[in-house]
Structure 1
Amino acid sequence: MQMECVQFDGLDLRLKPTELDVSQEDLIESNDNVIIEWLDYLMEFPNVTVFEQLRDLELRRWLDNRTYRVKVSFMTYNSYYDMLTTTSIHFMFGMSGRPWKQITHRSVVLESHADFVSWLYEVLFFGHILILFLNEGYESIACLREHKCNFVKAWKSYWNFWNVVDWVSIVLAFAILITWITQNVGQAELSTTLQSYIGVHSACRASFNTSSTECFNARAFDQQLFDDMEQLGFVIRANRWISGFYPVCIMMRLFKAFAAQPRLAIVTKTLALAANDLTHFGIVFLSIFFAYVAMGMAFFGREVESFASFDRASLALLRALMGDFSVEDMELRGRPVAFFFFGTYMMAAVLLLLNMLIAILMDVYGQVAAGSRTSESLWHECYDIMRRGMQKWTGGHTPLSEVVKKYVESRGEEAWESDKVIYVSDVLAAVPGLDKRQAEDEMTSALEEYAQENAPHIEIAEVISTMGKYLAPKTESEVPPLRNVIDVTRNGSVAGDENVSEAAAELVRAGLSVEVLLRAAGIVLDTTSQRRANGEAQVSALRHIVSSAELLCNEDKTVMMCQL
């Protein structure tokens, strides 16, 4: 038909775009590839009708095969909310010729800080960010001075995960501040421009001719108003997107605060300890997940819109993991194919992989929770803070930072690395005016914290090696009978040099009870009040013993230990 082939740039119109896609498309009315037509003064001049103007456009063949989108826009002002709104009706033409229709709105409150409360929120937010910026700046300078202005060492020492979170929060907050100021300036300018609207259009109306100079000025005024509104909309969009991501920084900073309290830090510690396992799990999960994304696009991409592209198929399968799916849409391709795809995906992704993820997290969570049970609760720490605050107010409490500072001053900087045992009397002598009861409490708390942080973790090699000390013979001729092996284990005497593999095999054949094995490793099953404190070590040892039995039970699976 002797028509030119045109490549459209912009939105992908092979599928119907969403309202968000259309409203966020950067279509500026002043671009060279945009043709602007005005439906002039419909109310000011009754003799000018919409039908006549649209008929004139049609005769000029204004819409042809090169047309990508037609956008009809008009503005409304709501004086009650002081809100200016641009409503646009979009007609978008795909390369196949199919038109898509979408209606979008862009609203701006011209005076967004009309009361004192709204300004108070802004001042508190940006004031808090300014304080955080000053604190982080002071900390970085102190770190630089500590390393004697060695930038490389200071850089390595300063940057850790939580400092990165703080600086990302600061950068995003200042980006919000910049876009917020730009937005307020734009709103003020738009409000000032809008106040001239009535005067400009009254002059055009008084001219009684749409081609007059006054009407030309009114048309230019309207075009500038639309352009300013469009530009301000982009600034508001940027501010909204940055503000939408900022709560993630707030959440991470809350986790940083929770890390100071052991019971609140269970989640962060669980994720940190399980990070290695989660990384390997993620590789397996993503491999299976994206394989099913490709299968879904191949099976249902032509019939089901949610599988028509890679991003839509990924979102559809992610929703299916949470239980949101539509098997009826998949059946459009055929029930056998839908049954195969949906059934295998549910088995592999939901029943298998998700439950493995839960198992990984719960295993680590149990260890972290067991270690935090002996720590103080949040309410007890709040009580201690209030009690110490009251004692400090009355002069009966010395801050711990001051105690440490005076002790180091009296003992010198080598006190940080000294192996000398510190007694209560040493602290009292170094810190004049320190209450003896407070010194005892501080020393006791320090010992308890050290014990919790340095609790021994019994590995499988240690357990088997300890058993070997009791049971391994020097020579084959000196191998004791089975009865003597059990007696030696119960008595706790050493039977010879280490021969770990033979000792472990002998234990398995003997079918010794778990209690005997724990005793051989030097661990006593407590049933007294100390059981809670020793529970973590006992459970750890028991787990490793069972694991070792599973590896060693190759010859005889009927003995008691192998069944455990």
Structure 2
Amino acid sequence: INTLFKQTDAFGNVLPANQWGRYERYNQIIGGVNLVLERSSVNKCKRDELDRLFGCSNRTECCHDEGTRTTGNYYSASLVPDVSRAFPNIEKAEGFKADSDGRYVFWMDSNKPLEELRNRIIYLAAGQWVDLSTKAVTVSTLMYNGELGLFAKLDVTFTFFRGGSVQPQIDLDTVQSDPYKARPWMIALDVLFLACFMTCAVSVFRSLWAIMQVHGRQKGFKVLCCDFWNWVDWLTIGLGVAYIATWITCVVTDQAATNVLVELSRTYKEVGIGSSKYEHKLSDAQDKLQDLVNVYLEHRTVTAFMSLLMGVRFFHAFRKQPMLSVVTKTLSASMKDLFHFAIVFFCIFFSLSFSGMLTFGHKVLYFNTFNQAMTSSFLLMMGWWQWEWLRGVEAESTTMMFIAIFYVIVRLMMVNILLAIIIESYFRVRSKVAEEYTLWNSAMSLVRRFWRKHMSHIKMERLFGKYDEELPEEINFFHISQRPRDPQSVTDERRPSLTSLANAGQVAGNRRVSTEMFYWQQKQAVAGQANINPEDAELKIPSPVPPEQAMEILNGTVKWTHHIDSQTNLTVSEALVMFGYNHTLVMNVQNSVGFLLARLEGVRVGVGG
């Protein structure tokens, strides 16, 4: 009473009435405390011939089966009315009548004076509220912490075992009151989550529509059902909808509970406690808060399963990157061996768990039931075990023999076989993945593609018309053409200072130049060797050349790098041919553009252009 219904401070001074019902100083009890009783029925004992020994000689039923439940009124007509007259504020047989759920509920109002609360406890004791048929007593209360903005539901349950012991258990559930007001930044996170969820849902629906268009409705449905990852996507979307729905329900229920609590406070100031209006508002507030705790529990459950499925979706994304897919492919490759291993493992594990239950279950709680025996065996397999837990239970030789057999068979043999299966599959999968497909290389390739696609570029032929001082320090030279171009066209916009280079392009343009040329034909035509037979040609690659192949071609025929200040051998013919292909050339201009022009001019003289 003094702990839950504190009405004085540490020095014995009486607190104001608005501070009554504070638990641990910061938690305000809402309304009061419910005492909930569950009872078992009275039945015959297990062995009738021993009833006299148990003291049941004059009664046919005197044992209490904890597996049963009674809902009848059990108060004594001769005892309880007298107690009720002694306590006029207590209704007749209050707490001794079962409700619709078969529970016996007794209410303790935190706004009552301590003396009246003590009288209510005396009333229960005098009426023998707790007797031999009692299965469990639960002390349940709802609280609000204004410091943290939390609603809390506290249940302390005392379970009465038929062996004579009483085991307490504490359950505490907390929910955030008005989460958006306490943490306004959550609105941005929820909007971001909703946008990501809608993007994912639209992507899945578009994929579904595309499959239906290609395969038809019936066959497309079969294709979707046969893919495991489609089921994961649809379950994720379904749980996402449930997540959003339960969260909206939480917010609405929280607002409704807040409104009821505001009305309860207003009613308390107007009419005080004890009136029917206040009791009605208090009951309504208790129901709303209980609903709030329940919907938050549902929301957390949905969130937990959704997080699990989203984690599974990561494995689907990892398949796109060779090095990351090693783990998923390892699990997939070892699945057949793991299935057969699991059959043998669980047969041995269940046998040893059952043996432990029969050996130690009658003395040790850890092996009392088969479920507890399996849990303890798992802990023993993982090494989370202490010798003292089984020491002295049976003969020391029996205990040591059980632990030795379990360790050798399960921990040393079976667990290592499991690791060997997975490691063997890992090495088999890893040997098929090239070393260059690392996550770092993939990231660099992604950055490189983004840079070349979205950063500004300057066509190479425009470079020759720019002065050195006008050029930035970093320049991207870019030119795209869907088909090979006449090398003559690249010299039209050049300055007079590059007349010799333009003449070389004109000479090359009079050679065999066509939009249907192969690369080797265009290369030899520009170089002035148009009569070379195809079988004698150096290259036989059709036009146009994709960017990936163009890089390989240039690396194989021309010695050049991205940076001009390094050793670069670039002939006029290769430079002009490059203009006609879908290829990006990135150069870092450090010396000057004149350096490139001088190199091209020297090569032109060398080839006799």
Q: TM-score, normalised by structure 2?
A: 0.58
- Counterpart mapping for 1:35-74 below 5 A: 35-43=104-112, 45=113, 48-74=115-141
Residues 222-266 of structure 1: per-residue CA shift (max 9 Å, x gap): 233223222222221222222223332222211111111111111
Residues 476-512 of structure 1: per-residue CA shift (max 9 Å, x gap): xxxxxxxxxxxxxxxxxxxxxxxxxxxxxxxxxxxxx
For 2:197, the aligned partner's letter is I
User: What is the CA distance between 1:152 and its match in structure 2?
Assistant: 3.5
Q: Greater Rg, structure 1 or structure 2?
A: 2
Partner of residue 346 from structure 1, selected from 382, 407, 419: 407
* 1:313 alignment counterpart: 373
Q: Which runs of 5+ in 1 are unaligned?
A: 12-28, 399-422, 430-434, 445-564
Higher share of residues assigned helix: 1
* 2:197 alignment counterpart: 129
Q: In 2 relative to 1, CA 121–40 (structure 1 residues): closer, same or farther, beyond 3 Å?
A: same
2:172 maps to 1:105: yes
For 1:250, the aligned partner's letter is M
* 1:75 alignment counterpart: 142
1:424–1:439 Cα contact (<8 Å) kept = no
Q: In 2 relative to 1, CA 67–311 (structure 1 residues): closer, same or farther, beyond 3 Å?
A: same
1:172–1:246 Cα contact (<8 Å) kept = yes
Residues 450-484 of structure 1: per-residue CA shift (max 9 Å, x gap): xxxxxxxxxxxxxxxxxxxxxxxxxxxxxxxxxxx
- Counterpart mapping for 1:42-441 below 5 A: 42-43=111-112, 45=113, 48-96=115-163, 98-114=165-181, 115-149=183-217, 151-156=218-223, 159-205=226-272, 210=274, 214=275, 216-331=276-391, 332-393=393-454, 425=541, 428-429=543-544, 436-440=546-550
User: What is the CA distance between 1:148 and its match in structure 2?
Assistant: 2.9
Residues matched between the structures, number:
387
- Counterpart Cα distance in 2 of 1:143 and 1:333: 66
Q: In 2 relative to 1, CA 441–302 (structure 1 residues): closer, same or farther, beyond 3 Å?
A: farther
Q: In 2 relative to 1, CA 97–303 (structure 1 residues): closer, same or farther, beyond 3 Å?
A: closer
Residues 349-380 of structure 1: per-residue CA shift (max 9 Å, x gap): 11111111111111121121111134422222
For 1:124, the aligned partner's letter is L
1:424–1:443 Cα contact (<8 Å) kept = no
User: What is the CA distance between 1:126 and its match in structure 2?
Assistant: 2.8
Residues 41-74 of structure 1: per-residue CA shift (max 9 Å, x gap): 554x46x422211111233333344433222233
Residues 66-97 of structure 1: per-residue CA shift (max 9 Å, x gap): 43322223333221222222323322223445
User: What is the CA distance between 1:202 and its match in structure 2?
Assistant: 3.3
1:42–1:49 Cα contact (<8 Å) kept = no
* 1:451 alignment counterpart: none
- Counterpart Cα distance in 2 of 1:9 and 1:189: 39
Q: TM-score, normalised by structure 1?
A: 0.63
For 2:277, the aligned partner's letter is N
What SS is found at the alignment partner of 2:168? strand
- Counterpart Cα distance in 2 of 1:167 and 1:135: 11
- Counterpart Cα distance in 1 of 2:142 and 2:397: 53
What SS is found at the alignment partner of 1:113? helix
2:323–2:439 Cα contact (<8 Å) kept = yes
- Counterpart Cα distance in 2 of 1:363 and 1:74: 56
Q: Which runs of 5+ in 2 are unaligned?
A: 1-55, 70-97, 458-477, 481-538, 555-609
1:42–1:50 Cα contact (<8 Å) kept = no
- Counterpart Cα distance in 1 of 2:173 and 2:123: 29
- Counterpart Cα distance in 2 of 1:134 and 1:201: 52
- Counterpart Cα distance in 2 of 1:322 and 1:51: 51
* 2:536 alignment counterpart: none
Residues 24-48 of structure 1: per-residue CA shift (max 9 Å, x gap): xxxxx964312222223554x46x4
RMSD, matched Cα: 2.9
For 1:127, the aligned partner's letter is A
Q: In 2 relative to 1, CA 221–64 (structure 1 residues): closer, same or farther, beyond 3 Å?
A: farther
What SS is found at the alignment partner of 1:325? coil
Q: In 2 relative to 1, CA 105–158 (structure 1 residues): closer, same or farther, beyond 3 Å?
A: closer
Deviation beyond 6 Å, 4+ runs, structure 1 = none
User: What is the CA distance between 1:132 and its match in structure 2?
Assistant: 1.1
* 2:103 alignment counterpart: 34
What SS is found at the alignment partner of 1:279? helix
* 2:535 alignment counterpart: none
